Structure 1
Amino acid sequence: MKLPRQDTIARQPDEHLVTHRVLLPRKIVEHPIRQVAKRLSMALVVLVATAAIVYADRDGYKDNNGDGVDLLDAFYYATVTLSTTGYGDITPAGDAARLVNILVVTPLRVLFLIILVGTTLEALTERTREEWRLNRWRSTLRDHTVVIGFGTKGRSAIRTVCATGLKKDQVVVVDPSSKVIDAAAAEGYAGIIGDATRSDVLRRAEVHKARQIIVATQRDDTAVLVTLTARQLNRGAKIVAAVREEENAPLLKQSGADAVITSASAAGRLLGLSVLSPAAGMVMEDLIQQGSGLDIVERPVIKAEVGKTPRETDDLVVSVIRGHRVLGYDDPDVGKLELTDRLITIVRATPGTQIAPDMRPLPRD
């Protein structure tokens, strides 16, 4: 397979404008224009309230013109007072007016300034707050899962892994599209915008501290380069990659992938099986869909099962994992189950329940 140049892989129109951007999940807030409109409305209410208070006690105020205080003068006084301009042409002369200024108008002035200055302060502190969140996130992130590509395969992989109890804050998504990362952040995942074939992008995802890496890119050549780069940065992480063509699977394994899922051939085999036996195709589709019907999971051998054969267990055992070997349930080498073995079994899924941490669903195609 001929690999294209690295700078032409997985390129999106907006990639060079937002490369290396880190987007952490955050609570949904109001649109900025709506926030400003709300603050201006509050400021207007304070202004009108102050003007009404002054106009209600207009006889207690003195105007330098000597013609008394009307409604326009009340709004004028409220404006220059709340904005702390204070020209001094209209002043409270009566004791009641002065007392109202002390107890009512002054607190309203402080509230008015807080409303107007609040927007500016929020804009100034937003960058500092985001930097603090990002630094704290980097310092606490370890043993996490990195997902390269947030398409159909990447989303399904994340949901399957999270079904075992993995928290969303332990998942980092890497994708060159800003819209895709926005969607990932909206679902509660941290996101990195950039080309995952570049080592500096993967470092921002803290790949060197990750426990497992899922490569779910759209192209096989991209998956090869991503796997090579990820394996160079992290020698101990478990890397699972998906490819479209089966002929590229050996190349992925040579690049450092621990497991390779061939999506095109798997879909083709399922189509062929459904043609030969629609019922068998339905059963396989049921096994593929996590959380409904039948699920295929990996679990440890319990003490009560030690010394038994796979057929004597309560669950339907498909394979036995012994060391680094995967043995069929009827393999003569299995013999009796050992405490260090792990079983691949088919169980009945219960909707709404979470898979136990020691029971891992197998990767879906």
Structure 2
Amino acid sequence: MPGGGHRIAFPRPVTGPLVQVTRRLLLALLVLVVTVAIVYADRGGYHDAADSSVSFLDALYYSTVTLSTTGYGDIVPYSTFARLTNTFLVTPLRVVFLIILVGTTLEVLTERTREQFRLTRWRKKVRDHVVIVGYGTKGRSAATTLRGRGMPKDRIVVVDTNPKAVQGATEEGYVAVAGDATHSDVLLRAEAHQARQIVVATQRDDTAVLVTLTARQLNGTAHIVASVREEENAPLLRQSGADSVITSSGSVGRMLGLSLLSPSVGRVMDDLITYGSGLDLIERPVDPSEVGRAPREITDLVVSVIRGPRLFDFDDPEASPLRPTDRLITICRSGSRPDAALG
């Protein structure tokens, strides 16, 4: 396959191969049954070189060799009506039968043409999208959160080496690239060089480092968020070009500790990181009515204020008053801020 075995898969309706084969067999059988019925109904207009009469078995035999274009010539239509029937009924049925037989080849050619057209159209319009490398538990959760924040599915591209993960992503409506994201050509197929954000959610820390290095080399402006298992590898991810690094083992450990010390705190934290229910932690721009006010005077519970490259705590004196270009990280009721930015 071109491109070193890598491919781009688009969302499509899922129909199993057994179902497709069964449908074609039933359709071919239907064509055969109709042809046999036509021939047997007008059996008096046919001549059999063996015994001059046409039985049901003879009609079945004639229909089979006729539809398959074998045509031995031992049974032939000789009456005017039988010849007209063969011309206007049996011949079209023969064409349909042949189309069914070569349908697989035609379908493959049509599918390849369709996929090429979709690929060309997709490459022309995909810009400022999100590339998710690794579609395991972390990658799926990231995609679900993005979708919950209102991001369209066509702005999310999944990259994974596992064919089942790629199939799962396409079944959920995402464009997916099958291949190793440590190779630049795979990320180029995902248009990572034009992505706005890249999520690295691989299973291994060393793979995450290589993917981050490759992604940063291709795209110097994208915001890269990477996940690692061990805390000691976080600095290496940042040196590789990651803007944010999430330590999965450390985060889980802290959640476990919080839940042990205070089950209520653990439930609240779980609620905050689970988008779409209860409380949500979001980033949003400052409303015009909030400009000039202190973070504590805002209706939403402000956690931090983002001003340019700097991040202020809500109680930092430098965070007040709020400016029009500031962004707020707030805790609000789920669904109360449908216009919250995706970041």
Q: What is the TM-score when the length of structure 1 is the normalising length?
A: 0.85
> Is 2:341 the counterpart of 1:359?
yes
For 1:26, which of 11, 14, 21 is the aligned residue? 11
Cα distance in 2, alignment partners of residues 20 and 87 from structure 1: 47
| C-alpha contact 2:11 2:175 (8 A) present in aligned 1 | no
- Residue 334 (structure 1) aligned with residue 316 (structure 2): no
Q: Work out whether 1:36 is the aligned partner of 2:18.
A: no
Residue in 2 that maps onto 1:167 = 152
**Match runs of 1:8-87 below 5 Å:** 20-65=5-50, 67-87=52-72
CA contact (8 A) 1:163 1:354 kept: no
Match status 1:239 vs 2:224: yes
Q: 1:58 to 1:272 in 2, by over 3 A?
A: closer
Aligned mates of 1:135, 1:172 — CA distance in 2: 15
Distance 1:64 1:217, change over 3 A: closer
Stretches of structure 1 that go unaligned for 5 or more consecutive residues are 1-17
CA contact (8 A) 1:20 1:192 kept: no
RCO comparison, higher one (Cα < 8 Å, 6+): 1
Tell me what 1:275 maps to: 260
Shift of 1:227: 1.2
**How far is the alpha carbon of 1:166 from its aligned partner?**
1.6
Residue type matched to 1:299 in 2? R
1:190 and 1:313 map into 2 onto residues whose CA distance is 40
Kindly state the Cα deviation for residue 249 of structure 1 after the two structures are TM-superposed. Answer: 2.1
Alignment of 1:165-314 (within 5 A): 165-314=150-299
Instruction: State the alpha-carbon separation in 1 of the partners of residues 342 and 312 from structure 2.
Output: 18
Equivalent position SS for 1:173:
strand
Counterpart amino acid of residue 359 in structure 1: A
Indicate conservation of the 8 Å contact 1:215/1:226, yes or no: yes
Deviation at 1:332, TM superposition (A): 0.8
SS at match of 1:321: strand
Percent identity of paired positions between Structure 1 and Structure 2: 62
Partner of 1:138: 123
The alignment partner of 2:64 has SS state of helix
CA offset at residue 335 of structure 1? 1.9
Rounded to whole Å, the distance in 2 between the matches of 1:342 and 1:256 is: 24
Alpha carbons of structure 1 residues 146 and 278: separation in structure 2 relative to 1, 3 Å: same
Counterpart for residue 123 of structure 1: 108
Contact 2:131 2:192 in 1 (8 A): yes
How far does the alpha carbon of each residue in 1:82-124 deviate from its partner, in whole angstroms, 9 at most, with x for none? 2334444333333332333344323322222222232332234
Q: 1:227-270, CA deviations, whole angstroms, 9 ceiling, x for partnerless residues?
A: 11111111111111112222322222222111112222222222
RMSD of equivalent CA atoms:
2.3
- Per-residue deviation at 1:66? 5.4
Give the ranges of 4+ consecutive aligned residues of structure 1 lying more than 6 Å apart after TM superposition. none
| TM-score (norm. length: structure 2) | 0.90
Per the TM alignment, residue 37 of structure 1 is displaced from its structure 2 partner at its CA by 3.1
Which one-letter code corresponds to 2:36 in the other structure? A
Give, in angstroms, the shift of residue 191 of structure 1.
Answer: 2.2
Q: Give the Cα–Cα distance (whole angstroms) in 2 for the partners of residues 224 and 29 of structure 1.
A: 35
Using the TM superposition, name which of 232-241 and 31-40 deviates more. 31-40
Quick check: 2:151–2:342 contact (8 Å CA) kept in 1?
Answer: no
Q: 1:214 to 1:59 in 2, by over 3 A?
A: same
Stretches of structure 2 that go unaligned for 5 or more consecutive residues are none
Bigger shift: residues 307-316 or 119-128? 119-128
How has the CA–CA distance of structure 1 residues 287 and 113 changed in structure 2, closer, same or farther, with 3 Å as cutoff?
same
